[in-house]
Amino acid sequence: MLLHPVIAESGFAGLGVAVSGSTVADDFPAPARVCADLLQRFAQVSDGRRDQGRIHPVAVVLTLCAAAVVAGMASFTAIAGWATDVPAEVLVKLYGRRSDPPSKATIWRVVTGADAATVDAVIGAWLLAQAAARDTTAREVVVGEVVVGEVVVGEVVAPGTDRENPELLAIMVDGKAVRGATDAEGNHTHLLAAATHDDALVVGQVEVGAKSNEIPQFAPLLDTLAAAGVDLAHTVITADALHTQRAHADYLHERGAGFVFTCKHNQPRLFAALDALPWTQTPIAARQVDRGHGRITTRTIQVMPAPADLPFPHVNQVWLIERYVTALDGTPSSAVAALGVTNLTAHTTTPQRLAALVRNHWGIESLHWLRDTVYREDNSTVRTRSG
């Protein structure tokens, strides 16, 4: 039930204002219409009960739970207490009839029994739909009274560009352990998530089995993005060195997706081949200097066409990024280099864009920080099923 803070500015404001009006479409304020959309999406989720909750439908319980989590509730007891304070008029709108709020026992049964994969897919689709609607409005081009330039989810058309050459939707893939939650055998829950670069919206998430690792879940995770309305052919996937795998490159190539992978010693032949390239003879393609936090950081990128004999499939360009950190007085602090590969061509991306994709990938660490500090995910000690 972890949701991104962007929800607080949109959907669940509707729970506090949806107290009047005859129909959702006509009279509800915009936030309430967004909330109603999430309610409809949660109707796809099953919690395994035979009658899907004759008194408390799964969709209503999950919507109340999601709103409570955004409001800061972090346990079943707190969620149930929050639900008892929801105005009766709002409950009428949610249930379509008069009803008492769900009890703690009902909330526990629904949440622990809900299909976690479906819940993740529903939330990812809802978040991405909200972001796409916002971006479409921001990027509409009005000519006289004719509005042009509609976009589809998974396709980001930058202002002033040709529609047939859209900017790829950048998605980062990374894993995270939920340190407090364990299964019956004491294994920690480990999740592999796909999130957008720009807004850090989690559009897909799968659980990594205790006896496995993230690598086998890479393709299943990206397969779930179709349910969120993402067309992989309009995306570029970034991942750390763990996912620099030939099978991953084959998978993305077959679906027309771009990839930007970092290479380390887990791929020794590829790393050796990249390290042996004539980087000293390759000019710097882009440079960025940042000054702040008591230091000066200089980042450079060098890019060259991929050698024909590179031991990795579907690569069109290879890159070297170097980062130098100095104190404000010029005293060197650190120097780091990273090698990597991409199937993007020089015609579809620039060195500046490639450097931004590599740097922005680590934005998922900021998302992990939000999950742990804002929602206190690592403090969760829930042990039961999907709880």
Residue 328 has pLDDT above 50, yes or no: yes
Residue 91 corresponds to which amino acid? L
Question: Band of the pLDDT at 121, cuts 50, 70, 90?
Answer: confident
Given this model, what pLDDT does residue 5 score?
Answer: 44
Contact partners, residue 54, CB within 8 Å, separation at least 6: none
Name which of 107-116, 207-216, 228-237, 350-359 the model is least confident about: 207-216
Find the mean pLDDT for residues 259-271.
95
Higher pLDDT, 121 or 345: 345
Higher pLDDT, 292 or 372: 292
